[in-house]
A and B are shown apart, each in its own frame.
Chain A
Amino acid sequence: MGAVSSAALPRRGELRLPPYLPLLFPAVAFMLAMYGWPFLSSFYQSFSVAAREGALGLDNYAKAWELYRKDIAFTFAATILNTFLAGVVAVLFSVYFRLRQNRVSAILAALFKLPIFIPFVVVSQMMTSFLAPHGLLNIALAQLGLVDLERPLQLFNFAGLSFGFAWKQVPFAVLIIHGGFQMIDNSYIEAARSSGAGMLKVILRVLVPMNKSSIVAALVLVYSSIVGTFTLPYMIIGGKTPTTITVDIAHRVNYFRDFGVANALGVCSYVMVIFTAAYYLKSRIREARQEAAR
């Protein structure tokens, strides 16, 4: 770090490093060690073929594609759909909490955050009993005469998975989105209403566009967390096909100790996340720039 001491007396043509660089070192080193290294190592392993003494090749990917292409597609579709679903529901709840500011909605909003603190395993356990053929949901629907218990709703599939994701992820999305709505002063809403906009128009034309950045942030975070969940799909869908990549990875590792294919599948989920993460970071940086320019 010799360049740092000379930063005080910069000579022409010399690269000027910021003086706070040494302060960043521990953080950067920590991130590289804890996050960068495992990522690179799994990336490397996904190309290393066990059958050929660790030589590099695309065999793992070929095998993953052959065995799991349906699951990859399923994971991708389920993630997109569930993110969208959770996003819509979260926006509706957040709008409700923003517009109905009374004690009841405040209590509801607070209670609604509780699922965030419940671990995924517990959520999954709850969902398996709640969604079971003779679980609480079917019994309740039967009581209402909506379902015949002889032929209960089969929910250990995509529908049940979506329900579980929504149950767990919507509160988290609400936390972020509602926070964004809270930042919008009433005057923006009142200006729209006195201009003749009904509630729906206010929501679609004013509130949602003004809160776009937190909605996008919530969607990105929910999306990445859904891509990576294991327990919920494992307990609700398990080994049936199609299932999610995460379940396949566990299967590969637990039964075959096949780290190559597992890592190839892992890289698939990185790819799914990386685009959204990049978009998120880019919009964050743009926002920060605009903020600084103001």
Chain B
Amino acid sequence: MSELVLKDLEIRYGKVTALDRLNLSIKDGELVTLLGPSGCGKTTTLRAVSGFLAPQGGDIFIGGRRITDIPPEKRGIGLVFQNYALWPHMTVFKNLAFGLEMRKIPAEEIKRRVAAVLASVQLSEYADRLPRQLSGGQQQRIALARAIVLEPDILLLDEPLSNLDALLREQMRFEIAAIHDRLGITTMYVTHDQTEAMVISDRIVIMRKGLVMQDGPPEEIYRRPANKFVAGFMGTTSFVPGAVVGVEGERCEIETAEGLRLVGLGSGLKLGDRACAAVRPEAVLLGKRGAEEPEGRGANRFEAVVQRSNFTGELVDYQLKVGSCFLRAKEPETRKVHGCGERVELRISAERLPIVADADAEPRAV
């Protein structure tokens, strides 16, 4: 069992509070992503877990054992850094063997284990190379291999893919997810890229200014953001502000100042509250004005004017104006592109339209 638990973790740098009583737990074998903008405390959390930063308050447990005061070299944690941090004077083999040597493992077994891990990242032929003789993607895989060859209880990755180009980054997401599925190491993954988080995680923890904003499976975070901050962080969201005019279970209706009514999903809202509809471009469907309505009742239907349309190959990216609001839409239908100035009808399914309180996201310690 190597469950990771952070309890009321508090870290300050002088007067700056980096973590404000953070509570977080990662189940054995789970991959949890810390997602949030730069400076929200992700790296700080990781450094506290790995033991390079002593918390001013709170505790850290691995598998039920309190490790808050244990030095980093005795924590059994594997680290992967954004800059890879492969030791430049050691060959790939030596980089991987280093930790095993520290554990006084016999040379024969070191050879065997390094070879096995190198094979698992498809870099067996590169054992005798120096790190600088490898490409960025290969260095990244070696960095990962160096961490997992020690069979750590916990694996921590700090923005491991952000130095790679887009194509490689996408490929490595799947590779990391596959390695995690195979080895089942309890993993804490840090990124500021929401797509990366969605692809890779069992669970996502959204952070802001040292506080947890929301903690849940990727789909839940996406479909039911707890507040405006989370809704805004997941993708390119346009907010349409209004007042709550109807609440019925999860369904919630708001009316804008211009009298537009939008129905979506929200929770914790009362009649008269100021709220926002979080419109995602991928939730907006376009149709010719007056066309038959395929989705039945309940769909939000508006008339819009196309302000701009960009053909990107896989889809068309529209900027639309509804009343005084600007919305984005991404249409997979690329055969017929609506031109600038064209009037179209847009529909947004209520199921795909989160409604959140319009206050600036109130920090909520979970």
Using a CB–CB distance below 8 Å, which chain A residues touch chain B? 185-188, 190-198, 201, 205-206, 209-210, 212, 290, 294
B112 to chain A, nearest CB (A): 18
Q: How far is the CA of A197 from the CA of B90 in the complex (A)?
A: 15
Asked if residues B98 and A194 are in contact (CB atoms below 8 Å), the reply is: no
Which residue from chain A places its CB closest to the CB of B72 in the assembled complex?
Answer: A193
Asked if residues B75 and A194 are in contact (CB atoms below 8 Å), the reply is: yes
Asked if residues A185 and B85 are in contact (CB atoms below 8 Å), the reply is: yes
Which residues from A are CB-within-8-Å of B339?
none
Select one of A185, A195, A209, A210 contacting B102, CB under 8 A.
Answer: A195
Which residue from chain B places its CB closest to the CB of A210 in the assembled complex?
Answer: B89
Asked if residues A210 and B88 are in contact (CB atoms below 8 Å), the reply is: yes
Asked if residues B75 and A195 are in contact (CB atoms below 8 Å), the reply is: no
Select one of A188, A196, A212 contacting B73, CB under 8 A.
Answer: A196
Which residues from B are CB-within-8-Å of A191?
79, 81, 85, 87, 146
Which residues from B are CB-within-8-Å of A190?
50, 52, 72, 79, 81, 85
Select one of A187, A193, A209 contacting B81, CB under 8 A.
Answer: A187
Q: How far is the CA of A195 from the CA of B72 in the complex (A)?
A: 9
Which residues from A are CB-within-8-Å of B103?
196
Asked if residues A210 and B87 are in contact (CB atoms below 8 Å), the reply is: yes
The 10 closest A-B pairs by CB, nearest first: A195-B99, A187-B85, A196-B102, A187-B81, A191-B85, A193-B72, A209-B89, A194-B79, A193-B73, A196-B73
Asked if residues A197 and B83 are in contact (CB atoms below 8 Å), the reply is: no
In this assembly, does B150 line the interface, its C-beta being within 8 Å of a C-beta of chain A?
Answer: yes
In this assembly, does B270 line the interface, its C-beta being within 8 Å of a C-beta of chain A?
Answer: no
Which residue from chain B places its CB closest to the CB of A205 in the assembled complex?
Answer: B98
Per DSSP, are chain A's interface residues mostly helix, strand or loop, or mixed?
Answer: helix
Q: How far is the CA of A186 from the CA of B53 in the complex (A)?
A: 12
Asked if residues B87 and A198 are in contact (CB atoms below 8 Å), the reply is: no
Select one of B81, B88, B102 contacting A201, CB under 8 A.
Answer: B102
Asked if residues A192 and B87 are in contact (CB atoms below 8 Å), the reply is: yes
Select one of A186, A196, A198 contacting B150, CB under 8 A.
Answer: A196
Convert B66-80 into 0s and 1s, putting 1 for each residue whose CB lies closer than 8 angstroms to a CB of A.
000001111101110
A22 to chain B, nearest CB (A): 37
Q: How far is the CA of A210 from the CA of B102 in the complex (A)?
A: 18
A289 to chain B, nearest CB (A): 13
Which residues from A are CB-within-8-Å of B89?
209-210, 212
Most buried by B among A194, A205, A290: A194
Which residue from chain A places its CB closest to the CB of B50 in the assembled complex?
Answer: A194
Select one of B81, B87, B150 contacting A206, CB under 8 A.
Answer: B87
Select one of A186, A188, A194 contacting B87, CB under 8 A.
Answer: A188
Q: How far is the CA of A290 from the CA of B89 in the complex (A)?
A: 13
Asked if residues A194 and B85 are in contact (CB atoms below 8 Å), the reply is: no
Query: What are 22 A-B contacts defined by CB distance under 8 Å?
Result: A186-B52, A187-B82, A187-B83, A187-B85, A188-B87, A190-B79, A190-B81, A191-B79, A191-B87, A193-B72, A195-B98, A195-B102, A195-B150, A196-B74, A196-B102, A197-B73, A197-B98, A198-B73, A206-B87, A210-B88, A212-B89, A290-B132
Asked if residues A188 and B85 are in contact (CB atoms below 8 Å), the reply is: yes
B241 to chain A, nearest CB (A): 44
Which residue from chain B places its CB closest to the CB of A188 in the assembled complex?
Answer: B85
Q: How far is the CA of A290 from the CA of B130 in the complex (A)?
A: 13
Interface residues of B in 201-241 (CB under 8 A from A): none
Given A190-B52, A190-B79: A197 and B102 interface contact (C-beta under 8 Å): yes
Most buried by A among B77, B83, B102: B102
Q: How far is the CA of A205 from the CA of B72 in the complex (A)?
A: 17
Q: How far is the CA of A187 from the CA of B82 in the complex (A)?
A: 9
B262 to chain A, nearest CB (A): 47
Which residue from chain A places its CB closest to the CB of B75 in the assembled complex?
Answer: A194
A7 to chain B, nearest CB (A): 35
Most buried by B among A194, A195, A197, A205: A195
Q: How far is the CA of A241 from the CA of B3 in the complex (A)?
A: 72
Besides A194-B75, A195-B99, A205-B98, 20 more A-B contacts (Cβ < 8 Å) are A185-B83, A187-B85, A188-B85, A190-B52, A191-B79, A191-B81, A191-B87, A193-B72, A194-B50, A194-B51, A194-B79, A195-B73, A196-B73, A196-B74, A196-B99, A196-B102, A196-B150, A198-B73, A201-B102, A212-B89
Which residues from A are CB-within-8-Å of B88?
210
Which residues from B are CB-within-8-Å of A197?
73, 98-99, 102
A199 to chain B, nearest CB (A): 9
Which residues from B are CB-within-8-Å of A185?
83, 85
Given A209-B89, A210-B89: A192 and B98 interface contact (C-beta under 8 Å): yes
Q: How far is the CA of A170 from the CA of B24 in the complex (A)?
A: 49
Q: How far is the CA of A190 from the CA of B83 in the complex (A)?
A: 12
Q: How far is the CA of A196 from the CA of B75 in the complex (A)?
A: 8
A25 to chain B, nearest CB (A): 37
Q: How far is the CA of A185 from the CA of B52 in the complex (A)?
A: 14
A95 to chain B, nearest CB (A): 16
B106 to chain A, nearest CB (A): 16
Interface residues of B in 34-91 (CB under 8 A from A): 50-52, 71-75, 77-79, 81-83, 85, 87-89
Interface residues of B in 140-184 (CB under 8 A from A): 146, 150
